[in-house]
Amino acid sequence: MALRDIKARIDATKKTMQITKAMEMVSAAALNRAEQNAKRFTPYMDKMQEVVTSIAAGSKSARHPMLSSRPIKKTGYFVITADRGLAGAYNSNVLRHVYRTINERHQSPDEYALIVVGKVGLNFFKRRNMTIIDSITGLPDQPSFADIKAIASKAVGLYANETFDELYMYYNHFVSAIQSELTERKVLPLTGFEGTVSSNAAYEYEPSEEEILEVLLPQYAESLIYGALLDAKAAEHASRMTAMRNATDNADDLIGQFTLTYNRERQAAITQEITEIVGGVAALE
């Protein structure tokens, strides 16, 4: 390889390393904010769950369709991905799992429907001609509830009007800056309240428990979706930060290898020139 070509590769790799380093720093800043957002939302979710649990588990008369299972004719899948790649296995882990799960559980496209967050997931399922009934792309790095209220409300509404009879959610759960876990969560019907009511919880309801559930349960289900999105956003930024750090380290290694090759080739060229000069001088004597 010519010295000029090696030098060009070194320069190109240095420019790439500058870009990946900058992207790593941006993702690190975004991760810090996303992690704080997810933590701030936790107390609200805990209190909401406490109240819902108190009503659902503590009352014998309160009933609501979102708490009752029904025969499964159609399943809904709420899938959270990113709008772009360069995040390691963040998107592929979720998409492969959902795709495999749907193929294993269903024999016909009429048996399931997808609600997709993120351009990567939307394009993935579109290319495979899978049934998508709603999607959202272009969410900010730090989404507010208003950003996703429409799609969350629609997901809950589709269950309420029996478009599908159960709803599963798939996303990457943020564990740490270097680890995330693929998560499958059954959102609807809401379950797990039986026997979980606290003996310290005591509420008097006005209006009736049924009327409170009518308002509170859809909000609770929407909050589950929003909480998962905040969690997934933190995992996305962490995955991208890690991927860009690895890319930066790899670029640095490549620069070292190219530099070593460049120096060897340059030394060989200098040695060759010296040998030719010495040989020319000897021929003249």
Confidence of residue 45 (pLDDT cuts 50, 70, 90): confident
- Flag whether 39 is in a domain: yes
Length reported for the chain: 285
- Flag whether 57 is in a domain: yes
- Flag whether 285 is in a domain: no
Position 60: which residue type?
K
- Flag whether 10 is in a domain: no
CB–CB of 172/236 below 8 Å? yes
Tokens standing for residue 65: 């369709």
Provide the domain count of the chain. Answer: 1
Mean pLDDT computed over 259-263: 89
Which range marks the domain in which residue 208 is found?
25-194+203-242
pLDDT tens-digit profile of 72-126? Answer: 999 999 999 999 988 889 999 999 999 999 999 999 999 999 999 999 999 999 9
- Flag whether 281 is in a domain: no
Element (H, E) at 175: strand 166-176
- β-pairing verdict for 75-80 and 112-117: parallel
- Flag whether 94 is in a domain: yes
Position 119: which residue type?
K
- Flag whether 92 is in a domain: yes
Question: Is the confidence at residue 196, as pLDDT, over 60?
Answer: no
Mean pLDDT computed over 143-149: 91
**Can you tell me the distance from the alpha carbon of 105 to that of 103, in angstroms, rounded to the nearest whole number?**
6
Measured on CA atoms in the order 78, 82, 83, 88, is the torsion positive or negative? negative
CB–CB of 227/187 below 8 Å? no
Confidence of residue 198 (pLDDT cuts 50, 70, 90): low
Classified as helix, coil or strand, 178 is: coil
CATH number (domain holding residue 215)? 3.40.1380.10
Q: For the whole model, what pTM was predicted?
A: 0.85
The radius of gyration of the chain's CA atoms, rounded to the nearest angstrom, is: 28
More confident residue, 277 or 103: 103
